[in-house]
Amino acid sequence: MSSWWTGQSPRVSPRIMSMKVKDILKLKKSFLRKLRPEMEGDREGWERFVVIRADGREGMSMYPRLLPGATVLIDRHYNSLKPYRKGESNMYAVARNGDCTVRYVEVAGNHLVLRPHNHAYPIEVMAIKPGRKVHDYSIGRICYVGIET
């Protein structure tokens, strides 16, 4: 992703300081209230939603579900790998090398498998470090994608 709108990693920052917010995206409260949480680990005190903008490579790796420059809303209270809707794969924001990537996520043994939607991009495998769990890497579920035209 090109940059966090908050200027800090939402994976390690439960609260977003107002001085770090670059912009605010207004969404209907009724939409946000309908979203079901599915938390693993202690995220009760975390601010729930964070918005990022997809850069070129990240956007194209999930094409056509995501495009470069798309606005992506992350629900940080849904970091479980349980499907949100039956029969559909969730897209997740995942912490990787101090940055963020958006992919479909699976677990294989003690590894995370990060799958792009676009088959022209490679599948990535990340080792889960000893003492860490899957939800330590999952920033949250992508619950909204907005694309300007």
pLDDT tens by residue, 43-73: 888 889 988 888 888 889 999 999 998 999 9
The strand order across the sheet containing 92-96 reads: 3-4, 49-53, 71-75, 138-146, 92-96, 99-108, 111-115, 124-127
State which residues of the chain have pLDDT below 70.
1-13, 15-20
In whole angstroms, give the CA distance from residue 101 to residue 54. Answer: 9
CATH class of 3-146: mainly beta
Contact 64/117 with Cβ under 8 angstroms? yes
Give the Cα separation of 49 and 140 in Å (integer): 9
Specify the pTM: 0.86
Residue 20 is predicted with a pLDDT of 66
Domain extents in the chain: 3-146
Give the pLDDT of residue 7.
Answer: 41
Burial 22-41 (b: 16+ CB within 10 A, else e): eeeeeeeeeeeeebeeebee
